[in-house]
Amino acid sequence: MAKKLFIKSYGCQMNVYDAARMADVLAPMGYENVDAPDDADLVILNTCHIREKAAEKIYSELGRLRGLRAERMMAGGRAVTIAVGGCVAQAEGDEIIRRAPQVDLVFGPQTYHRLPDMLRGLGAGGARVETDFPVEAKFDHLPPAAAQGPSAFLTVQEGCDKFCAFCVVPYTRGAEFSRPLVAVTAEARLLVEGGAREITLLGQNVNAWHGAEGGLAALLDALAGIDGLERLRYTTSHPRDMDDALIRAHGENPKLMPCLHLPVQSGSDEILARMNRGHTADDYRRIVDRLRRVRPDIALSSDFIVGHPGETEADFEATLALVAETGFAQAYSFKYSPRPGTPAAEMDAQLPEAVKAERLARLQAALGASQLAFNRAFVGRDVKVLLDRRARHPAQLGGRSPHMQAVHVSCGGAERAASLFGRVATVHIAAAHGNSLAGRIAAAAEATGPLRQASA
Ligand code: 5AD
Ligand code: SF4
């Protein structure tokens, strides 16, 4: 009988990718994914440690799982194994079991290829905490990737050596590592055979990828040669690694989508220095100018932290000025959250919560206005949308524009919607909101390569 696996992922897209690979690793043991923990045999919380809120969520979820286990025992139901993976697991290790004794297994982001062994070991008194960075490379031990649907993620780079003062990633994901070009292209081909039209290359510092000469631009070139693959994206990038070839690729690679997530964090040179970012606000402006020269319509997105230790009102205003000047199509912004073990957590001039909240509200108002203005410019235009999401209404589908906007699409009938799923279609945009566009099918675009039914 198939065993039921429920994985809940928090945090970044790499965790989403890791969850898919965990399922690949567990499939030979007879595990099949289910959408709810209720009757699962194995529950994995794939956790995020980036901010305190994300980490604390895990303990409330573990409380609910303890309740679930108790209910099942009372009802004489099947046992449930509870595992905590991801970045909280890496950072807190056996502290998790101390705080939540219902947890059977704790494993870090670099050890999940060993999940079958860990699970078999549990009954036999094996280790309950596996957070070493093993000498063998995880990627060499993972089975081939299963299909992910029309839009797929592919990790090409992992870890970080940049040590931004606020950030836990170098400690939870380890040193920077690039997967070799042949491994990446082989996995990309598998994903395309499984129905992927779009691949997003993932890495904590994806543009630092150095798996072949020519860097990420060369990898994007190689991937653009895959028939049936229509769109390429990559995330997340660091301004310091935005090299000439990669900037040029935005003007030259026909499959590379016109958008870039390039976190700047702050518009103040003082704060950027305190953050150990290794670039100034003007360095960032120059990169944006060069990108816009080769690709004038590029949609820029960014991450911001407000209330980093030492941030004055003037520093914060420099961030607002950068936002007003640059015009972001999309952005994430956060209150600074002190993370144990990072240099910024030890800095003086930590700011009161109220100041952080007030600055966040002002920044988000500015970013929201910038985003809405970007979206409004699309009303009345035709855009190509990869229809990769089913909607509640059977005559509708959801998808992404080249610029990464979410688009709600009326397909003019359930049958038409079913036939368009997984394809790129031309959509006439009728309305724009802060976070999405809405429109109707103008004409179904020819899909390149053979169309395979994606099992999403
Ligand atoms: N506090 C708040 N935000 C943070 N980020 C990373 N570390 C912290 C922290 N300690 C944000 C950064 C990063 C994004 C993934 O999360 O903006 O780019
Ligand atoms: Fe969260 Fe960073 Fe880990 Fe992703 S890599 S799960 S964002 S802590």
11 alpha carbon to ligand 2 midpoint, in Å?
Answer: 6
Q: For atom 7 of ligand 2, which residue has the closest CA?
A: 12
Examine the pLDDT at 70 and tell me if it is beyond 70.
Answer: yes
Ligand 1 closest atom vs CA 166: 10
Number of domains in the chain: 3
The residues, ordered by sequence, that sit 6+ positions from 77 with a Cβ below 8 Å of its Cβ are 39, 71
Assess whether 161 and 142 both reside in one domain: yes
Q: Is the CB of 55 under 6 A from ligand 1?
A: no
Out of 14, 52, 166, mutate this one to test ligand 1's pocket (max ligand atoms within 8 Å of CB): namely 166
Q: Count of alpha carbons within 13 Å of 433, Cβ hemisphere only?
A: 8
Q: What is the pLDDT of residue 344?
A: 98
Assess whether 152 and 122 both reside in one domain: no
Ligand 2 closest atom vs CA 168: 8
Residues with a CB atom less than 6 Å from ligand 2 = 11-12, 14-15, 48-50, 86-87, 168-169, 172-173, 204
Examine the pLDDT at 425 and tell me if it is beyond 70.
Answer: yes
Q: What is the pLDDT of residue 125?
A: 76
Assess whether 235 and 109 both reside in one domain: no
Question: Which of 130, 158, 179 lies at the terminal end of a domain, its last residue?
Answer: 130
Exposed e or buried b for every residue in 380-395, given b needs 16+ CB within 10 A? eeebbbbbbbebeeee
Assess whether 148 and 51 both reside in one domain: no
Assess whether 314 and 179 both reside in one domain: yes
Tell me the mean pLDDT in the region 164-172.
96
Cβ 373 vs Cβ 320: under 8 Å? no
Assess whether 196 and 265 both reside in one domain: yes
pLDDT band at 447 (very low <50, low <70, confident <90, very high): very low
Assess whether 339 and 288 both reside in one domain: yes
110 alpha carbon to ligand 1 midpoint, in Å?
Answer: 21
| Structural domain containing residue 59 | 3-130
Cα radius of gyration rounded to whole Å, the chain: 23
Q: For atom 16 of ligand 1, which residue has the closest CA?
A: 50
- Predicted TM-score (pTM) of the model is 0.94
Question: Which of 108, 130, 152 lies at the terminal end of a domain, its last residue?
Answer: 130
Out of 14, 50, 277, 367, mutate this one to test ligand 1's pocket (max ligand atoms within 8 Å of CB): namely 50
Q: Is the CB of 166 under 6 A from ligand 1?
A: yes
Assess whether 228 and 366 both reside in one domain: yes
pLDDT band at 54 (very low <50, low <70, confident <90, very high): confident
55 alpha carbon to ligand 2 midpoint, in Å?
Answer: 10
Q: For atom 1 of ligand 2, which residue has the closest CA?
A: 48
Distances (CA, A) of 236 to 103, 179, 199: 32, 16, 14
Q: Which ligand is nearest to the CA of 157?
A: 2
Ligand 1 closest atom vs CA 333: 17
Examine the pLDDT at 147 and tell me if it is beyond 80.
Answer: yes
Element counts in the chain: helices (H) and strands (E): 14, 19
Tell me the mean pLDDT in the region 171-177.
93
Q: Which ligand is nearest to the CA of 342?
A: 1
Q: Is the CB of 200 under 6 A from ligand 1?
A: no
Q: What is the pLDDT of residue 226?
A: 98
Ligand 1 closest atom vs CA 303: 17
Cβ 253 vs Cβ 241: under 8 Å? no
Question: Which of 342, 374, 406 lies at the terminal end of a domain, its last residue?
Answer: 374
Q: What six digits make up the tokens of 302?
A: 């960014």
Q: Is the CB of 263 under 6 A from ligand 1?
A: yes
Assess whether 100 and 176 both reside in one domain: no
Q: Which ligand is nearest to the CA of 55?
A: 2
Tell me the mean pLDDT in the region 169-177.
93
pLDDT band at 446 (very low <50, low <70, confident <90, very high): very low
Instruction: Please tell me the least confidently modeled range out of 61-75, 125-139, 228-242.
Output: 125-139
405 alpha carbon to ligand 1 midpoint, in Å?
Answer: 23
Examine the pLDDT at 449 and tell me if it is beyond 70.
Answer: no
Cβ 333 vs Cβ 367: under 8 Å? yes
256 DSSP assignment: B
Pairing of strands 424-432, 198-202: unpaired
Tell me the mean pLDDT in the region 385-407.
96
**What CA–CA distance (Å, rounded) separates 177 from 78?**
40
Assess whether 212 and 310 both reside in one domain: yes
**What CA–CA distance (Å, rounded) separates 78 from 263?**
46
Q: Is the CB of 105 under 6 A from ligand 1?
A: no
pLDDT tens digit string along 4-30? 999 999 999 999 999 999 999 999 999
Comparing CA positions, the residue from 381, 382, 390 lying closest to residue 422 is 390
Q: SS3 for 9?
A: strand
336 alpha carbon to ligand 1 midpoint, in Å?
Answer: 7
Q: What is the pLDDT of residue 452?
A: 45
Examine the pLDDT at 450 and tell me if it is beyond 60.
Answer: no
CATH number of the domain to which 448 belongs:
2.40.50
51 alpha carbon to ligand 2 midpoint, in Å?
Answer: 9
Distances (CA, A) of 7 to 16, 115, 140, 231, 400: 10, 13, 23, 28, 25
Assess whether 161 and 91 both reside in one domain: no
Assess whether 74 and 101 both reside in one domain: yes
Q: SS3 for 228?
A: coil
pLDDT band at 455 (very low <50, low <70, confident <90, very high): very low
Q: Which alpha helices (H) appear in 262-328, and where do they start and end? A: 269-274, 281-294, 313-326
Ligand 2 closest atom vs CA 109: 3
Q: SS3 for 396?
A: strand
For 347, list phi and psi in degrees, rounded to 5. -70, 150
CATH number of the domain to which 66 belongs:
3.40.50.12160
Tell me the mean pLDDT in the region 378-389.
97
Q: What is the pLDDT of residue 134?
A: 83
Tell me the mean pLDDT in the region 65-72.
93
CATH number of the domain to which 270 belongs:
3.80.30.20
Q: Which ligand is nearest to the CA of 172?
A: 2
267 alpha carbon to ligand 2 midpoint, in Å?
Answer: 23
Q: What is the pLDDT of residue 443?
A: 65
